[in-house]
Every structure is written in structure tokens, then in C-alpha cells.
Structure 1
Amino acid sequence: MSATWDLPDYDDHEAVHLFRDAESGLSAIIAVHSTHLGPAAGGVRFWHYPDSTRAITDALRLSRGMSFKNAMAGLPMGGGKAVILADQAKTKTEDMLKAFGRAIDSLGGRYVTAEDVGMTDNDMVVIRSETDHVSGLPVESGAAGGDPGPYTALGVFLGVQAAAKRALGVNRLKDVHVAIQGVGSVGGGLAKLLAEEGARLTIADVSIERARAFATQYGGEAVEADEILSIEADIVSPNALGAILDEQSIAALRCAAVAGGANNQLATPADGQRIYDRGILFAPDYVINAGGIINVGLEYLGQGDEAEVKARIAKIPERLEQVWQESAETGAPSADVADRIARRLIGRA
């Protein structure tokens, strides 16, 4: 395996920590990209990786995205991310979660965790028994915090609205055809919000049964997972895992815009240019999907309630418009424009 700093996704990260607790079976990575604006905040992903290099690469990419996401969301927090390497059965135990909490605590507040793929707010409660540096805990109604998924979905929904307005020239989503890839916490929440506005939905998921269930519930159509990115639609919305927009899939796109909640949608930096060259509007993922971190970030900081969270999420379309306008004026892909703005905010211009 190459040294971490030789990997393509290493971006002058401040630290990459490897943790192993043999007794509980924990193997985890915590990547701290930047603490320029505050403690490195980002969730923990519980996932089975084919090898450790893939896991480290995921942590590197996701932590960099969190630096940019938190900066663009106006949060006084840096960017970090953790991954817990699950076995094929995805065995998760309380002892493992407690060991992970101790690992976080050993960093002295430089990293703040919350839930991501494979984790729940109840898992955060277990981790909280070993460290204060955790958010996304169950909260009372009206408070900031809890499951970030619905807040991410709300931000993505507002971003899809903004994309429809700019790319299609429409002020409402009725009859706008949206192809949704992935109906987990975020994609499922997005499907509900879009259906309420009268959008036409085509849905795919790694589980075709789940896709069919959502399609039945919201009056849409279900297709196989490998078909969704080439569906003819107004907007394609990736809401599963990352690196799904590459040379081949971008060439197959038949849409006016791509706007979804998945992290790190572009497989390589060159893919932002590829989408731009095709004349397809792209919503940079860490701008559109910031709703969840806004929620758990304000919870951790103790700044405001649910109303404040939603008020800040409502600014996501404004940030997207800023990026798209600069892209139109400069001829640079929106992905590059967003990166440039975010790097300036974290002192890496």
C-alpha cells in the first residue's frame, strides 16, 4: 500500500489517524483535513471496504468535502471524516462503538463526529458515553440535532428547485421529471418532498424492491440501479455513494441538470469539466447537501433551534446561484468555482 500522502486524494490533510482495538474488533480511520475555521466536523461511515486503501481514500475524500461543505455553509467548523471498517456481515457492537468514542476523545476535540451511512442517532448515544465530541444525538421536538438525514434531504430539495429554475426556466416542480438514484434517508426524504410538489419521479436503488415500494408510494416508476444515470429526465439526482459521475456515465447522461445529495459525486476533478462541456448544470454536492451538517453543527455549537437550522438551509439555493453565476461569467465548471470559493474560505486559496 502506498503511503497516505502519496494517494491521489491526499490534500495536505492535517492528520490521518488509524485506530485498532483488538478486543472490540474496531478498525477505524479518522481523517482531519482542516481545522482552520474550527474543530474538524464530519460524520462516521460504517462500511465494508474491499481493502484498507479504499477505506483511507474514502476518508480522505470525504474529509476534504467536509472542509469545503462547512466553509460554504458558514459554519465555524473545519472538516474531518471517520470510517469504521465493517466486516462483510456489517457486525456492529456496543463495545466497538465505545472504542470508537475513546478514539475520538484521544484527539482532544480536534474532531467532532455524527452519523453517516450505516450509523444511527442511537449509535451516537453509545459513542457519547465515551466522549463529548459527538453530535446528531436524539433531541426534543423543535431543537437542533438528531438524525441529519431529513435536513440533508430538505437542502437537496431546495437545490433541485434552484436547478430547475436555472436549467429549465420553471418556478415550480410540478411535472418536472427527476431521476433519483438511491432512496435511503436522504433520497427517500427527497422523493417525498418532490412528490408533494407534483414532480414526476423515476427511482432506482441497490434494492429494486425498495425502489418499487417508493415508486408505488409516490406514484413514480422504478428502474434497475444501473439504468438510472442514463434515463431521459429533466434532472438526475444522485443520492447514494460517491464517484458515480465518470467519463462513461457523464457521456450517457440525458438531462439538463445533476443535483443530488451524494458526497463526492465526481470520480475525478476532470469530470467537472466533462459535465460542463456537455452543457449540463451541476450542483456541487458539498453545497447542495449541507443541510445535515448545518443541523448537527448548530447542535454541537449550541447555536439556535430547529427554526434557525431551517433558516440556514434556506440559503443553500443562494449559494448555488452564486456558484452557477460565477461559472457562467468565467467559463469555469461549477465544481471548480465551488472549490475555489471554499479553498479561499479555509485559507488555502
Structure 2
Amino acid sequence: MRHEQVTVRRGTRSGLPIAVAVHSRALGPAVGGVRMRRYADWRDGVEDALRLSEAMTYKTAAAGLPFGGAKSVIALGPDTEPTPRLRQAALEDLGDLIEELGGGYTAGPDVGTGPADMAVLRTRTTHVVCLPEEQGGTGSSSGPTAAGVVAALRAAARAVLGTESLTGRTVLISGYGSVGALVARALTDARVLVSDIDPAKQEEAGQDGHGWIRPEDVLKTRCDIFVPAAVGGILTPDTVPGLACRLIVGPANNQLTDDSVADLLAARGITYVPDFVASAGGVIYITSRDLLGLSHEDAYARVTALGATVGSLLAEPRPPLRAALSLAEVRLTGAERTNEHLMAI
């Protein structure tokens, strides 16, 4: 087992399975989002928490943040409707669990939750970020997450395509949600195609001036840059041969089914910017503001510095995933050695 602590319990108020996975606190207290979604089996939710918390450790380490990685999952059943009453009960159950960890884990929003849900958590624990702006919080992390993706994308375009300018280039964004839509709107110099499993998003995309691609056609549509911005696990040994892009940069978590898929992409001449690097803008901004006390300007400067990080990774002879993992592991190993030394004193 690679995790420091994993807690799974049935919520006393909601009756729902709730999992909190703390992967590592070598660099500092763990941070990570709260995911609320439907699963065929509650154990799939636990597996999600395990994978995502590990990814969060590498995300914070690669970004140079003094925090570890964790994740919470509230597992809804396949037919469970998260009514306002059930939602509040589940969040209160989770808040109690987070409080029991005594500051070892601070939660923020993730898929299925937002600032309003963090306000509910705040009634049970102080270890919460991204409270609504009207309550003095930083609000949604979608804006800085998208800004980080754009900075990473343009840096990667410069390294792979020769220029940050996307004039004459096609960018395909899979997932037109809170982050994907902001990324699309920021790429004003590109031809932007978008896709989403929600067909109602097609009208919104058209009003924004973007082309629409059916979800079943996304992985075979020709483009220069592919931006996964929905769920993870879409890049597999079966889907890689059909890809028709030169560069992949996106905010979706766990895009690869396993790390070996990065080698398959490289063999096809497709440059893959690791998701835990491209998606780090949100956690960089929120922790910088809410936990480190930085100003908006200083926090956003850290977000846009992701472009320099990506440029450095792509300048290495190693595949970007290996370079990013190595960068994170060097920082984690150094912190673990320091912690062991302090414990021995």
C-alpha cells in the first residue's frame, strides 16, 4: 500500500459510502478535492480516491508546493439522486471525517462539488478552501485551472509546433464544462472544436463560435492539439492508434490508463504533457491564496509560471511524463529524507 492513510465509512447522516485517501504528507499537509459522482459500485469510488490522491501528490510536488496529496470521494449509487437534503447530509458526514484528521488534510472542490458545498463542509471543519467569494473565500478554482492549462498549452505549442501562436491551428477540447469552456474562450487565435457528452452544450458552443464534434468521434478527429477536459482514462492502448494530433495538453485527471501509454504516444510522435502538470493551476492558486496568504497577482503569477515548467520538461531528452515524475520524486525524496532526519534528532 502506497498511501499514508485511507478511511472508508458509511455516513451516519447520509448512509452513503465516503472515502478519504491521504497519499503523502512528505512535503506538508495534504490537499485535494471532494468528488461526488455516481459509481456502479462504491468500491469504484474508493479506487478513484486512491488514484486521484496519488496524482495530487505528484501535482503538488511537480508544482513546487509545500503540500501533500489527498482526495475525498462521496460515492453515489448508479441511480442515486443527490437531492439537496442528501447532499448536505453527505457533506456534513465528510466534514466530520476531515475534522478528525486534525489538519492533516484540507479539502476543496472537485468533480460534482463547488464553493457552495465547501461552505457546508465549513460548518463541520475549518480545513476547507474555495469558500464562496461572498463569504470571503476564493470561490471556484476553474478560472486559475484554465489559465494554467492555457499557459501550459502555449508553452508546449512553442516547443512542438515552433510558436505560441495558434493561428491556422486546430484545437479540440473534449469536455465543455467549467474548465474546458474557459480554455476554449481563451484560445481566440485558434480554430476551436469542442465536444461534450451533454448534447445541450452544443448550442452554447455554437454561440461561442466553436465547432462541435460528437463524443464518439473525438478520438479520431484530426487536430493539432487535443485537450482532454472531462473524465480520465481515455488514452489507452486501444485508443492511441486512432489519434490524429501532435500534442496533448489538458486538465482531466488520470488521462492515461497506465504510464506505459505515454510510451505508445511517444512512438507515434505525439507529445503528451502530463495531466498533473497541465492541471495544476487551480491548486497552485487556491493554496497560494487561502493557505499561504499570497495576493491575487502573486498567486496568478505562480499559475502562469506553469508555462516555464512545461518548457523545461519538453526541453529534456526524456519523455515528458518521465521528466515530470522525476522532478516530483526528487522533491518528495528530499522532503522524506529531511523528515527522517528531524525525527531522529
Normalising by structure 2, what TM-score? 0.92
Amino acid at match of 1:46: M
CA contact (8 A) 1:201 1:215 kept: no
The structure 1 residue matched to 2:70, chosen from 73, 77, 80, is 80
- In the alignment, is the contact (CA less than 8 A) between 1:29 and 1:59 conserved in 2? yes
Structure 1: gaps of 5 or more residues: 6-11
2:195 to 176, 195, 204: 204
Are 2:155 and 1:169 aligned? no
Q: 1:70 aligned to 2:56?
A: no
Q: Is the 8 A contact 2:230 2:252 kept in 1?
A: yes
Partner SS, residue 341 of structure 1: helix
Tell me if structure 2 keeps the 8 A contact 1:203–1:214: no
| Secondary structure, counterpart of 2:18 in structure 1 | strand
Q: Summarize deviations over 1:155-201 as a string: whole Å, max 9, x none.
A: 1111111122122112312332001000111101111111xx22101
**C-alpha offsets along residues 117-175 of structure 1, whole Å, 9 cap, x if unaligned?**
0001010001001101110112369x872111111011111111112212211231233
Q: 1:104 aligns with which of 95, 98, 102?
A: 98
Q: Secondary structure at the match of 1:248?
A: coil
Give the letter for the 1:230 counterpart.
K
Q: Quick one: distance in 2 between partners of 1:165 and 1:100?
A: 43
Letter in 2 for 1:36: A
User: Is the counterpart of residue 117 in structure 1 residue 107 in structure 2?
Assistant: no
1: CA distance, partners of 2:204 / 2:169: 18
TM-score, normalising length: structure 1? 0.91
Moved more, 168-177 or 102-111: 168-177
Q: Say whether 1:42 aligns with 2:35.
A: no
CA contact (8 A) 1:164 1:170 kept: yes
Report whether the alignment pairs 1:145 with 2:135.
no
5 Å matches for 1:1-349?
5=1, 12-87=2-77, 88-91=79-82, 92-139=86-133, 145-194=138-187, 197-210=188-201, 212-326=202-316, 329=317, 332-347=318-333
Q: 1:162 to 1:90 in 2, by over 3 A?
A: farther
Secondary structure of 1:113's match? strand
In structure 2, C-alpha distance between the alignment counterparts of 1:90 and 1:237, rounded to whole Å: 30
Q: CA deviation at 1:108?
A: 0.9
The letter of the residue matching 1:163 is A
Partner amino acid, structure 2, of 1:80:
A
Find the aligned partners of 1:281 and 1:109 in 2 and give their Cα distance.
Answer: 39
The separation in 1 between residues aligned to 2:13 and 2:46, in whole angstroms, is 22
Using a 3 Å threshold, how does the CA distance of structure 1 residues 140 and 94 change in structure 2: closer, same or farther? closer
Q: In percent, how many aligned pairs have the same letter? A: 36
CA distance in 1, matches of 2:257, 2:129: 29
Whether the 8 Å contact between 1:159 and 1:317 is mirrored in structure 2 is yes
Deviation at 1:226, TM superposition (A): 1.7
How many angstroms apart in 2 are the aligned matches of 1:220 and 1:135?
33
Q: Is the 8 A contact 1:259 1:283 kept in 2?
A: yes
Matched residue SS, 1:75: coil
CA distance in structure 2 between the partners assigned to 1:104 and 1:220 by the alignment: 41
Kindly state the Cα deviation for residue 236 of structure 1 after the two structures are TM-superposed.
0.5
CA distance in structure 1 between the aligned counterparts of 2:311 and 2:164, rounded to whole angstroms: 14
Shift of 1:213: 2.1
Report SS of the residue matched to 1:247: coil
Query: Quick one: distance in 1 between partners of 2:167 and 2:134?
Result: 34
Range 74-83 or range 214-223, more displaced: 214-223
Q: 1:270-289: CA deviations, max 9, x gaps?
A: 10111111111111111111
Given that residues 245 and 267 in structure 1 are in contact (C-alpha distance below 8 angstroms), is that contact kept between their aligned partners in structure 2? yes
SS of 1:338's equivalent in the other structure is helix
Partner of 1:9: none
Aligned residues: 331
8 Å Cα contact 2:17-2:42 kept in structure 1: no
Secondary structure of the equivalent of 2:238? helix
Q: Which segments of structure 1 move beyond 3 Å, counting only runs of 4 or more? A: none
Counterpart position of 2:343: none
